[in-house]
Structure 1
Amino acid sequence: MVYLMERGLVLFVLTGVITNVGFGQTHYNFVNTPLNWTNAQRVCRDDFTDLATIQSAADVDAVGNTASSDTGKAWIGLHDDLQNSWMWSLNDSSFYGEGEATYRNWYSGQPNNYAGRENCGELWSLYYDKWNDVSCSYNRRSVCFSGTLNGKATFVRIETLRNWTEAQRFCRENYVDLASIRNEPEHEMVKRVAGDNFVWIGLYRRKVWSDGSDSLYRNWENNQPNTTGETCVASSLESGLWSDEDCSIQLPFVCYTATPAPVEDFRSTGQNQTSVTLQWNKVNNNISFILQFNGTETNIRAPDGDGPVTHTVSSLSAATEYTFTVFSVFGSVRSGGVSINAVTDYVYRFKVSFSSGGELSQHEKEALLDQLIEKYGLPPQSVRNRSIT
């Protein structure tokens, strides 16, 4: 296979074998052509779903099974994003105004993930009055957020030395959380509270998956991750254990293809002579849909919020039965289809003349209408409004 990359004439000719092993809703794909991590990610996104996300020991086994007799290491989707993966311990979105959750005040050259293990943020108050990334296992004083007073955040310094996780637990049990710093005035406030100390604040980060998954599963080799500058992760094809590696080296890689779950509770919620309204349960914000009928396909995005997906098909013919099929779609992969039939409204008017005299009773009129429905082959369930005069 030949892959054309963006920006210039970069050709990757993949001559290795591609194998596929299915596990649940995820299919892992081993590509035995060495590329650097960034180019491997691009190939996975172009031709599959993304670089492999691993969420369990069973996934580790499934990834290993794709490589058959191959040895060595292969890229997976876990990597460091030193600038964009930082977050606050206090994760209440209502606490942050526009731009406040991403306020940063790093010291020059930080964060640098020295030795590959710096995942927590501290305030260097004693020397620089700026932030630094450091190993979460160090013992520090800490600054807790203790709530608001007259609309302003308040903070308290904790003298007991703790690692970041212990400091977070203490702040949550006794105050609100470790300190979030949303802007320059709050940075100045926390500096004053910190005094001449190195203190924990609520900033931390995790390695992130290429597809944005929140999986916390890890399967590190002993003493891994261990090196500054090695910000991408590879899996051993023999043991399944992980190591951090220089992203520029060339390794084979494991992609995955995600098969989304079929939609649930697909139904018709109403119709008239020329339209049918359809509804089904939303899966999540990452899943879109394709509606198929009469040889056409319509792309439908998931709505905001948690409610169901509603879509009205218009310009239909009256008194006609249609088959509608809906697919869940993730990336370029669609689920199996779920189908229903729906009938647009019938509108028939009958004018009946009688040669005999006298007035028909209502019961006789209803019986006559039923005879006409049967004579003209109309489905009885389609006659929802009967008007007899």
Structure 2
Amino acid sequence: MRKTLLLFLTLSGLSSLSSCISREYHYVRQKMPWTEAQSHCRETFTDLATIDNQEDNDRLLTAMQAQRAKSDKKAWIGLYDDMSRWQWSLGNEDYDNVTEFNYWQPGEPNFAAAKENCTVMDAEGFWSDVPCDEEHGAVCYYDRGPAKYILVTAKMTWQQAQSYCEASYTDLASVRNVTEHYNISTLLSDETDRAWIGLHRKPFAYWSDDSTSTFTDWEEKQPDNFIPDILQCVLVDTTVAKWYDARCDKPNPFICETVTFPPSTTEPPRTTAAASGSPAAGSRHKTTFKLKIRSEADMSDPAVQRQVLQQLHAKLEKHGLPDFKLRWVQTDGQTFHKEQKREKQGG
């Protein structure tokens, strides 16, 4: 049964407002695994540290040098890599390789050298993760043609294959169930070797506060994870502020942040969503809106809420707002609320 729910959303635009956002960094010397550090930061401050630009990174270094113990070499920040999170090119649809249909070759995905982030399918139907700059044929999807799946034998990188499929057909093919898998695998042969499908991932794409990563400052040859793990997190060198990937379960000091925004001239009601567009530099403008969604999904499921956020994010980027943050806010202890039916007024 479809449910109609009201969504309450906070959007914080950063493209012209990053200088207006105040981040105060707090170095915590107590050593904790990344998830425990995250909980501590959220309880005591705002969250684990997010770093949006070089200025943030410089201020983080200043805070570390003033507060760290001399023996502390590295500390957690909020950037992480959930290796179960993938995405289909078609519709930017989220994919969880742990819970959803898959046909991975045994031992795959293995994220070799932290560089294998795109997917090929072979003549037996098995999937493998490979570097996105390798060259293979591709399987395109065409939503208007009698043949829904088209095999392209020309060798291309994954990005080139995506662009070709979008320009000539609809997009690279998605493989979400047994039927789609069968229809695509019948196109492939031993001569074809392997072909791109639409499954891919962006490593280290999210911060602890659910914002997307737009800035990095990796140490040379980082990230270099050679051991597949479901979650990888990021340490910052406390002396030079360069970044390293590491297993999240290792205890380390960490950096929290307190985030504040300047006063708004147009303050929205607390029970609605605040949206920040692209005002003139040095000002912050908010508009108020409500969203309504019809869905059969369980909207109280955090995974569903995350997927809705990411789809909204993709839409806003497509319409020219490339740098912003989205998060859900709660009213009455809930993010989503069933819409109350209105009684018809008598004629």
User: Aligned to 1:249, what secondary structure does the other structure show?
Assistant: coil
Query: Residue 64 of structure 1 is aligned with which of 56, 61, 65?
Result: 61
Is 1:192 the counterpart of 2:151? The answer is no
Aligned residues: 253
Per the TM alignment, residue 87 of structure 1 is displaced from its structure 2 partner at its CA by 0.8
Per the TM alignment, residue 202 of structure 1 is displaced from its structure 2 partner at its CA by 1.0
Q: TM-score, normalised by structure 2?
A: 0.63
Deviation string, structure 1 residues 22-79 (Cα, Å, up to 9, x no partner)? 9823322221222222221221222222222222112211221211254622111222
Alpha-carbon distance in structure 1 between the residues aligned to 2:207 and 2:44:
18
Is 1:239 the counterpart of 2:240? The answer is yes
Deviation string, structure 1 residues 118-162 (Cα, Å, up to 9, x no partner)? 221221x234x2222222222222112222346xx7121222222
Deviation string, structure 1 residues 297-330 (Cα, Å, up to 9, x no partner)? xxxxx84359xxxxxxxxxxxxxxxxxxxxxx99
Is 1:282 the counterpart of 2:276? The answer is no
Q: Which residue of 2 aligns with 1:256?
A: 257
| Greater displacement, 180-189 / 223-232 | 223-232
AA aligned to 2:169 is Y
> What is the Cα-based RMSD across aligned positions, in Å?
3.4
User: Aligned to 2:266, what secondary structure does the other structure show?
Assistant: coil
Structure-2 change in CA distance of 1:186 and 1:34 (3 Å): same
Unaligned runs of 5+ in 2: 1-18, 277-288, 294-326, 331-347
Alpha-carbon distance in structure 2 between the residues aligned to 1:190 and 1:264:
55
Alpha-carbon distance in structure 1 between the residues aligned to 2:180 and 2:33:
42
AA aligned to 1:68 is Q
Q: TM-score, normalised by structure 1?
A: 0.57
Per the TM alignment, residue 235 of structure 1 is displaced from its structure 2 partner at its CA by 1.5
Structure-2 change in CA distance of 1:30 and 1:266 (3 Å): closer
Alpha-carbon distance in structure 2 between the residues aligned to 1:261 and 1:281:
19
Contact 2:21 2:262 in 1 (8 A): no
Question: Whose radius of gyration is greater, 1 or 2?
Answer: 1
User: Aligned to 2:39, what secondary structure does the other structure show?
Assistant: helix
Query: Residue 115 of structure 1 is aligned with which of 102, 113, 137?
Result: 113
AA aligned to 1:155 is Y
Contact 2:20 2:262 in 1 (8 A): no
Q: Which residue of 2 aligns with 1:154?
A: 148
Per the TM alignment, residue 264 of structure 1 is displaced from its structure 2 partner at its CA by 5.4
Instruction: Flag the structure with more relative contact order, 1 or 2, with Cα contacts below 8 A and sequence separation at least 6.
Output: 2
Is 1:54 the counterpart of 2:51? The answer is yes
Contact 1:77 1:209 in 2 (8 A): yes
Q: Which residue of 1 aligns with 2:130?
A: 134
The 5 A counterparts of 1:272-351 are 282-283=273-274, 303-305=290-292
User: Aligned to 2:186, what secondary structure does the other structure show?
Assistant: helix
